[in-house]
């Protein structure tokens, strides 16, 4: 894990804009207004009863909230993002599918309203995130078991807390678990403007690693380059530029990457493999192109590259809850030090969920949609 020495003396990021927490305070929804009432209440939730196009199968409905008992925790959701995995889950083509009907969303931050008499680690007013996928975060309130929640500090921006448990965790584990990287080593990745990609850039910078970041060409490419370099990216290239012979000049200034992170597949992943150092590893954690990863025989034989996969849900299955909590606290320390910020976000009220779903499925989206409750 990161030691505190890595976190000090780093360049502070530009201040984040005012968080959603201020809005909640203006509405008078502070922790002091909560009670331990066990009376049932109505909640609004985005529900799907069958798999398909999210814009067609998701509906905003009212649910009954059961009374809080034993190890139950009543949580009022504050903010929940729309991630690619959420969309895939609704479509029915994800590795984990909840029982239908289901509430959408796998990530988000909420505030504890009330706790059962067996709960010892949480109290009203605490911020919490979920430990597992498939529990449904696109709703105004919910009752979860205490073991399904992790308390997070309230001194980090709300958007950072809402987007903490998926993309930054994936980025951190991929950087730490597959190659023993040292300061000065390089990492190459595609989909670099994604939530994971932005987290990789920032965490790698904190670890003093160099990053080569590949993105799809677009009309505002220079704006995107500037944005990623502001996060700490060393190089930002388009898919086409990565194929050019001139790209070899980059490796006169830094070593060949020992780690490649692939979220696209197809030709993009093949190009990453071509630039790996001998014996290097390419980790695939997504398949945006919906095309297979292709590795030439020569790369496998003569460069002995390794092909691995990563899925955060599987990592959590293989590790203890305490290890996941330690990972979350490590990332919170990075956030406090200004070394890890939330991706660019667009806040969308829950009732306008159709706008959020449509925006999240458009190409070249550079802003993560966050549902506000």
Contact 300/120 with Cβ under 8 angstroms? Answer: no
Looking at residue 175, the DSSP 8-state letter turns out to be H
Contact 156/332 with Cβ under 8 angstroms? Answer: yes
Residue of 48, 94, 235, 285 with catalytic role: 94
Taking the C-alpha atoms of residue 220 and residue 41, their distance in angstroms, rounded to an integer, is 47
Taking the C-alpha atoms of residue 75 and residue 109, their distance in angstroms, rounded to an integer, is 9
Closest by alpha carbon to 316, among 144, 161, 129? 129
94 is catalytic: yes
Alpha helices, DSSP H, located in the chain: 20-26, 54-57, 84-91, 158-162, 167-177, 195-206, 221-231, 239-242, 266-274, 297-302, 312-318, 321-336, 353-360
Taking the C-alpha atoms of residue 81 and residue 369, their distance in angstroms, rounded to an integer, is 6
CA 265 to chain centre: 19
Query: Annotated active-site positions, please?
Result: 94
């Amino acid at each position: 894990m990161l030691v505190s020495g890595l976190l000090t003396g780093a360049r502070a990021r530009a201040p984040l804009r005012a968080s959603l927490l201020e809005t909640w305070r203006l509405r008078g929804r502070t922790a002091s207004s909560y009670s331990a009432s066990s009376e049932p209440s109505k909640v609004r939730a985005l529900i799907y009863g069958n798999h398909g196009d999210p814009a067609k199968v998701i509906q905003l409905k009212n649910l009954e909230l059961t009374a809080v008992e034993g190890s139950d925790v009543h949580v009022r959701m504050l903010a929940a993002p729309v991630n690619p995995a959420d969309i895939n889950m609704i479509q029915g083509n994800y590795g984990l599918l909840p029982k239908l009907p289901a509430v959408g969303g796998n990530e988000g931050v909420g505030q504890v309203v009330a706790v059962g008499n067996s709960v010892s680690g949480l109290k009203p007013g605490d911020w919490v995130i979920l430990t597992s996928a498939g529990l449904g975060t696109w709703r105004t309130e919910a009752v979860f078991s205490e073991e399904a929640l992790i308390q997070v500090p309230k001194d980090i921006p709300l958007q950072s807390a809402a987007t903490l448990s998926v993309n930054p965790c994936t980025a951190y584990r991929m950087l730490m678990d597959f190659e023993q990287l040292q300061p000065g080593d390089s990492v190459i990745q595609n989909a670099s403007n994604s939530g994971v990609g932005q987290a990789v850039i920032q965490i790698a910078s904190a670890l003093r690693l160099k990053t080569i970041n590949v993105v799809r060409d677009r009309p505002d490419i220079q704006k995107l380059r500037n944005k990623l370099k502001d996060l700490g990216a060393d190089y930002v290239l388009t898919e086409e530029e990565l194929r050019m012979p001139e790209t070899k000049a980059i490796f006169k200034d830094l070593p060949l990457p020992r780690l490649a992170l692939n979220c696209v597949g197809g030709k993009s992943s093949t190009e990453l493999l071509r630039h790996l150092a001998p014996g290097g590893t390419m980790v695939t954690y997504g398949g945006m192109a919906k095309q297979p990863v292709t590795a030439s025989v020569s790369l496998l034989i003569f460069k002995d590259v390794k092909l691995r996969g990563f899925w955060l849900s599987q990592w959590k299955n293989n590790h203890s809850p305490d290890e996941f909590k330690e990972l979350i606290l490590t990332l919170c320390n990075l956030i406090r030090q200004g070394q890890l910020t939330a991706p660019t976000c667009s806040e969308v009220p829950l009732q306008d969920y159709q706008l959020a779903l449509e925006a999240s499925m458009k190409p070249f989206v550079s802003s993560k949609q966050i549902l506000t409750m």
